[in-house]
Structure 1
Amino acid sequence: MIDFLLNGQPRHFEATPDTSVLELLRESLGQTGTKEGCASGDCGACTVAIGETGPDGQVRYHSANACITPAHQLHGRQLVTVEGLAEGETLHPAQAAMVECHGSQCGFCTPGIVMSLFTLHEQQQRSPSPLSPQRLEAALGGNLCRCTGYRPIRDAALSMEEHPHTRPLWLDAAAPKPTEAKDAPFAQPETLAQLVEIRSRHPDARPVAGATDLWLEVTQRLSRFERLVDVTRVAELNTIEEATLDDGRSGWWVGAAVTYARLEPLLEEHYEPFAHLLHRLGSAQVRNRGTLGGNVANASPIGDTPPVLLALGSRLWLAGPQGERELPLEDFFIDYKKTALGEGEVIRAIFLPRPDPARHLKVWKLSKRREDDISAVLGAFTWRIEDAVMRDVRLAFGGMAGIPKRASHAEAALEGKPPEAAAFQAARLALAEDFQPMSDVRGSAHYREISAANLLERLRLVIAQQDTTDREVMLHAYAH
């Protein structure tokens, strides 16, 4: 059973575990303003706003793709759709600005764009700040429009504050605290102990966090899930805690249910290249819901974050019926979609080491589109220079094997060598011993081999330039 507020009104509905928010809206509630475009979280036509009550009692909204959001995750939350924005004949500033700036033609994508503007407007109301081009792209990068062109939509975003707005009181109303039905087919444990206990009783139940990948099995492969375990409300999985490992390294244990959006401030402060990658990891709607733990547990060879975590030497904290344990991330990936997770085990947290000022990190992603696209090849490289030679070289790649993987032979070719052309030539040749990539729709094996070698050449150029200039030898994701 799902209890939530829809545009301020209580709703009480029963749904199967694999029902999406979009299905619930259109088929059960008759709210057809939210459109289905791609059914894969790419186009943004189905964007809605989900409100969660924080520890301070304030309701904060984030944009989400309704097509790949489990309906049961609305339990105890606010849902705002395009139907709820206007008050009588008075349009919300996001709607009024779109009308005045002629930001809509056919109108199919417009509800999703308006809802992305709504969440942006909410953020502006709570924390006013300049709407930079980068921030606008981040807010609207997950909304595609074929007919209007983006300039009038951008103009609408910039002019929202010019339109009067009386904030409806229901936007700040907290949804009733949810009650958990025992042994529900869509279980929502609140503690790690409850999660482990449910996983013990139902080892075949699929864990779900942001569902940004899992739900494609429903929308694209027409799979059906009889039982799911939602990990997003488990308290222990939602923390970011400073810690020191037994080997002396300090850093942070990032809970497996922490979203990219929550993680971004930490990365911006300590790992700018990693934070920069998040700009290209899906859209705002995806980053609001996708989790670091889910990206690792998914074990996709083209997941964006595992190569970076491998390069940084991350560790995993696992929990299950037999207790808790740690292991290096590189021991977690065994084969394609096969991991070291035991029966009933879950990822509790991922260790992100505190950066060493002497070490450098570079992350480069190759994909067909600049944003909201899957990697063809992703390279993540860390190293330090000591006595004019390279030390502690770690080269990790995605898209080059059945698992995210370090290039051990290429690393050995660079370790202890000056960062000169001869050493990097040897490293590029050694890649053939590390990888035999496959061909698929994102790129041929030959393309991947050449691309990985070119990323190492880019790394050589970066190191060569560091003594003379800070200018990067690549185009920034935001071309302004």
Structure 2
Amino acid sequence: MTAASSDSSVNAASPSMSSPPASTSSSQHSAPSSASASGSERPIRFWLGDRQVSVDHAPPTLTLLEWMRERGGCASVKEGCAEGDCGACTVAVTDLDANGEPQVRAVNACIQFLGTLDGKAVQSAQDIATADALHPVQQAMVDCHGSQCGFCTPGFVMSMFALYETRRAAAGRGLGGNDSRQPGSDSSHEPGRDISRDDALRALSGNLCRCTGYRPIVDATRAMCAAPWQGPDMDLWKTRLAQVAADGDAIFASGADVAAQWPGHTAGRFYAPRSVSSLSAVLAERPQARIVAGSTDVGLWVTKQHRAVGDVVWLGAVQELQGMQSQPGDAVAAQVWGDGTPVLEIGAAVSLSDALDALLPHLPNCALYFDRFASTPIRNAGTLVGNLANGSPIGDCPPLMLTLGASLVLHRDGVERVVPLDDFYLGYQKNCLQAGEFVRAVRVPLPAGVVVHAWKVSKRLEQDISAVAVATAFRLTKGKVAAVRIGVGGMAAVPSRAPKTEAELLGLEVSEEGALATALQTLRNEFAPLDDLRASAAYRRQVAANLLQRSWLALQSATPPDAAGAVSSAATAATAATAASGAAPSTPSGRASSTHSVHSLADLSPILMEITP
């Protein structure tokens, strides 16, 4: 197919090409980076289904969805919300992971700038079936009656497809292409076949069905891996990605007639440097350029606010920003938690999905908090560093990172400085970055013997920014609070610590009845939150205190009897466990209780659960 406009061209390529020699593939992926700020202008190159695509003169903020529908001939990709909420535009994007292996992930095409797809492969629901049969994901949707009006179906299919491909690769079938097992043979015990309801819901968290037909879609997701595996060899993906791989710093420049070609867009350049030195050079020459990692926030500036962003500098191609590294410690972590506190350094281009997966083993109590961060497609595109650098007062990551004592590594022209996250935020939408400076990485302390919890309250359970978020970290000595840090969101103009409340908590006996009362009142009075559409100021104050109390109850349930005395009773432990889970306590009939007899701190948990979702 040839695109209708002079700004792009689509060249057919065979899907059955053989892999190049390993040395050729390697050289294409590790071409030396240029330190030039200008780089070289060239088209954006990627795969769309079985077609190799080259797009010239694209505006820097042109979205993948716009191009696919208006130039790429992909009518299955829909625009429902243009803000990454509904999932109607979901596509599967394939690139190489840290080990050089293909990985397939679902992303929202509506807020992905086209330049971020350079060197990758994109698939829509039109691209996954064969000439003779539907893909197993599509067939499962048919068999389970998962499509109602059909508008949202392609997006659901691609979220399911990304999970399917992940399971296929994990099962070891990707190296041999299609499953050699005969249809009808037993597959129930093969790795990757069993998809739990939780796994299905997590994969579909970024998709909305306005026909309210979720049950058959979940059924289809759980059933899709029962059929023989179907898909290309993973080596084919390596071959294709090598053919569109970046060969140095790149610039994607819009044409002079951008207003005529793409109404609503303005002229500009999209810079895709490949090294930190090249990135520094670009920012030194163009300090006002907009830095973008996942475009999950800046994308909305374009699609919802119609803002002219100007030149864009993308971090996603910078090799040094794509990794994570464990370190024995650093000065900031030592000051917060003591010498020898290990840290995990996470690069600025590491996705939220990868970052949270790496942190979860160290922060098991935060699993629900991580799941409630946006949706799977947003986490696949967005970055932890981007969420921190954005500095939204209602962002989900800053309260937890403040609680842990995280620090940011700031880089400018080869010179670095490490700034505690506490000192990074200077005011609403203001930070301490200097002209030409960028955040290279975040260092997250992983202290031993510290109990960490994080909670959020929002209008929706999923895909919603916090009205209030509270994260806590307690270190106990003989049942007393020896160290504590509290981070809050939604309570001030910037994500903040609660030092007055922390001071009230130091030295408290975890098991002491009523010990928390003064600290709760201090937290209610420590901030002056706003009244807005998400919540009133009074509600925010009360809920912040409730969330601190939830952490306290969870802390009590986890404290050994010899350290906390009476807290070890079965009834209190069960109540605290309910508080930690976020579920409302039940009466013997199974319904949530609506009447309460309050005699102790633990007895408050039923009330707490009713007013704190």
Confirm whether residue 194 of structure 1 aligns to residue 270 of structure 2.
no
Counterpart of 2:45, as a letter, is D
Equivalent-residue separation in structure 1 for 2:251 and 2:111 (angstroms): 25
Which range moved further: 181-190 or 146-155? 181-190
Kindly indicate whether the alpha-carbon contact (under 8 Å) linking 2:88 and 2:152 is maintained by their aligned counterparts in 1: yes
Residue 97 (structure 1) shift: 0.9
| Residue from 550, 555, 558 that aligns with 1:458 | 550
Confirm whether residue 252 of structure 1 aligns to residue 344 of structure 2.
yes
Equivalent-residue separation in structure 2 for 1:399 and 1:123 (angstroms): 36
Equivalent-residue separation in structure 1 for 2:583 and 2:271 (angstroms): 40
Cα 1:400/1:260, change in 2 over 3 Å = same
Confirm whether residue 42 of structure 1 aligns to residue 85 of structure 2.
yes
Counterpart of 1:9, as a letter, is R
| Residue from 186, 192, 199 that aligns with 1:135 | 199
Counterpart of 1:211, as a letter, is S
Cα 1:315/1:115, change in 2 over 3 Å = same
Alignment of 1:195-274 (within 5 A): 195-243=279-327, 244-246=329-331, 247=334, 248=339, 249-274=341-366
| Equivalent position of 1:174 in the other structure | 240
Counterpart of 1:297, as a letter, is A
| Equivalent position of 1:81 in the other structure | 124
| Equivalent position of 1:151 in the other structure | 215
Cα 1:159/1:344, change in 2 over 3 Å = same
Cα 1:147/1:430, change in 2 over 3 Å = same
SS at match of 1:62: strand
| Equivalent position of 1:401 in the other structure | 492
Cα 1:136/1:88, change in 2 over 3 Å = same
Equivalent-residue separation in structure 1 for 2:549 and 2:524 (angstroms): 15
Kindly indicate whether the alpha-carbon contact (under 8 Å) linking 1:270 and 1:355 is maintained by their aligned counterparts in 2: no
SS at match of 2:343: strand
Residue 355 (structure 1) shift: 2.8
SS at match of 2:225: helix
| Equivalent position of 1:112 in the other structure | 155
| Equivalent position of 1:474 in the other structure | 579
Cα 1:165/1:431, change in 2 over 3 Å = closer
Counterpart of 2:541, as a letter, is E
Equivalent-residue separation in structure 2 for 1:117 and 1:157 (angstroms): 6
Confirm whether residue 442 of structure 1 aligns to residue 530 of structure 2.
no
Equivalent-residue separation in structure 1 for 2:144 and 2:250 (angstroms): 48
Cα 1:478/1:161, change in 2 over 3 Å = farther
Equivalent-residue separation in structure 2 for 1:13 and 1:168 (angstroms): 25
Residue 164 (structure 1) shift: 4.6
Kindly indicate whether the alpha-carbon contact (under 8 Å) linking 1:428 and 1:453 is maintained by their aligned counterparts in 2: yes
Cα 1:148/1:383, change in 2 over 3 Å = closer
Identity %: 40
Q: Which has the larger Rg?
A: 2
Kindly indicate whether the alpha-carbon contact (under 8 Å) linking 2:553 and 2:580 is maintained by their aligned counterparts in 1: no
| Equivalent position of 1:16 in the other structure | 59
Residue 478 (structure 1) shift: 9.7
* RMSD, aligned α-carbons: 2.0
1:251-277 Cα deviation digits (max 9, x unpaired): 211112111211233222211133432
Which range moved further: 249-258 or 292-301? 249-258
Confirm whether residue 3 of structure 1 aligns to residue 71 of structure 2.
no
Equivalent-residue separation in structure 2 for 1:301 and 1:424 (angstroms): 26
Residue 423 (structure 1) shift: 3.8
Counterpart of 1:58, as a letter, is E
| Equivalent position of 2:258 in the other structure | none
Equivalent-residue separation in structure 2 for 1:48 and 1:154 (angstroms): 18
Kindly indicate whether the alpha-carbon contact (under 8 Å) linking 2:93 and 2:104 is maintained by their aligned counterparts in 1: yes
Residue 235 (structure 1) shift: 1.7
Which range moved further: 81-90 or 285-294? 81-90
| Residue from 365, 381, 389 that aligns with 1:289 | 381
Alignment of 1:85-104 (within 5 A): 85-104=128-147
Cα 1:57/1:351, change in 2 over 3 Å = closer
Residue 178 (structure 1) shift: 2.2
Confirm whether residue 381 of structure 1 aligns to residue 472 of structure 2.
yes
Kindly indicate whether the alpha-carbon contact (under 8 Å) linking 1:4 and 1:74 is maintained by their aligned counterparts in 2: yes
SS at match of 1:11: strand
Structure 2: 5+ residue stretches without partners = 1-42, 171-190, 254-268, 560-567, 585-613
Residue 222 (structure 1) shift: 0.7
Residue 166 (structure 1) shift: 4.0
Residue 341 (structure 1) shift: 0.9
Residue 433 (structure 1) shift: 4.3
Residue 141 (structure 1) shift: 1.1
Equivalent-residue separation in structure 1 for 2:294 and 2:367 (angstroms): 19
Equivalent-residue separation in structure 1 for 2:478 and 2:122 (angstroms): 58
1:316-343 Cα deviation digits (max 9, x unpaired): 1110137110111100011111111111
Residue 57 (structure 1) shift: 4.6
Equivalent-residue separation in structure 2 for 1:58 and 1:438 (angstroms): 47
Counterpart of 1:284, as a letter, is T
Counterpart of 1:74, as a letter, is L
Cα 1:56/1:328, change in 2 over 3 Å = closer
Residue 147 (structure 1) shift: 1.2
Counterpart of 1:174, as a letter, is R
| Equivalent position of 2:596 in the other structure | none
- Number of aligned positions between the proteins: 478
Equivalent-residue separation in structure 2 for 1:360 and 1:55 (angstroms): 30
Which range moved further: 135-144 or 125-134? 125-134
Counterpart of 2:198, as a letter, is Q
